Structure formats: structure tokens, C-alpha cells
């Protein structure tokens, strides 16, 4: 699972360089997110612009990552493609996450 993270000011951007977060990679995604966020960063932006498909397992993995970060650290989402956005809307998870249309927007203070 190809994830890449870089600090941007106070924020940590984690980019998912994969087309899918589905049941085949959900556990791997959680493990890789833990590795990428272990080093710190209280405000994480998960950049999903390259992800064109998630299923309920993928959604569950993203929620699990947010829960693992705890109350003192924040996870925002950025760049949801149409199919991914649909899953967040239908499950009402769009009301749980702060969702930014793009990284530029996510980084605007």
C-alpha cells in the first residue's frame, strides 16, 4: 500500500497513492496509516484524490484510523472523487469528517 506523508506547517499530509481502499487492503491501510502518523502531527490531512473506489471495509478502515488517533489529534479528508464522496454521503460519514474539496483548501488556515 503506497502512502506518502509530508509535513506542511503544523499539518501532516498523507497521500494515498492507490486507486482503491477496499476489503483486500483495509487492514494494510490501517497499519500503514499508523506507521505514517506515529511520528506525530496533531492535524492530519488524508489526501484521497487518487482513490476512485472505496467499499464499506475501506470506509471502516478510515474511521478506525480516526478513532486510533484519539480526541487530541484530528483527521481531515481531502479531494474525494465522485464515487468515494458517494459512499461518505450515503453512510452519513460526511457529517463525521471535515472534508475539503482539495489540498489547497485543506491547507488554508
- The residues that touch other proteins, with contacts defined as CB under 8 A, are 20, 22-24, 53, 55-57, 59-61, 63-64, 66-67, 70-71, 82-83, 86-87, 90-93, 95-96
Beta carbon of residue 16, minimum distance to other proteins (angstroms, whole number): 16
Beta carbon of residue 17, minimum distance to other proteins (angstroms, whole number): 17
Nearer to other proteins, 49 or 93 (CB): 93
Beta carbon of residue 81, minimum distance to other proteins (angstroms, whole number): 9
Nearer to other proteins, 60 or 103 (CB): 60
Beta carbon of residue 66, minimum distance to other proteins (angstroms, whole number): 7
Q: Based on the number of CB atoms within 10 Å of its own CB, is 71 exposed (0-12), middle (13-18) or buried (19 or more)?
A: exposed
CA–CA distance, 14 with 43 (Å, rounded to integer): 11
Question: Per DSSP, which regions of the chain are E strands?
Answer: 3-8, 11-16, 20-21, 43-47, 53-54, 74-78, 99-100
Q: Which residues make beta-bridge pairs with 5?
A: 14
CA–CA distance, 51 with 49 (Å, rounded to integer): 6
Nearer to other proteins, 25 or 107 (CB): 25
Amino acid at each position: 500500500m503506497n502512502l506518502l506523508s509530508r509535513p506542511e506547517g503544523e499539518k501532516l499530509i498523507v497521500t494515498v497513492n492507490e486507486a482503491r481502499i477496499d476489503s483486500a487492503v483495509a487492514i494494510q491501510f490501517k497499519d500503514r496509516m499508523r506507521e505514517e502518523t506515529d511520528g506525530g502531527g496533531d492535524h492530519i490531512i488524508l489526501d484521497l484524490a487518487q482513490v476512485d473506489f472505496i467499499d464499506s471495509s475501506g470506509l471502516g478502515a478510515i474511521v478506525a484510523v480516526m478513532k486510533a488517533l484519539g480526541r487530541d489529534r484530528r483527521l481531515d479528508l481531502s479531494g474525494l472523487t465522485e464515487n468515494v464522496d458517494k459512499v461518505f454521503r450515503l453512510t452519513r460519514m460526511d457529517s463525521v469528517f471535515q472534508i475539503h474539496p482539495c489540498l489547497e483548501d485543506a491547507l488554508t488556515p
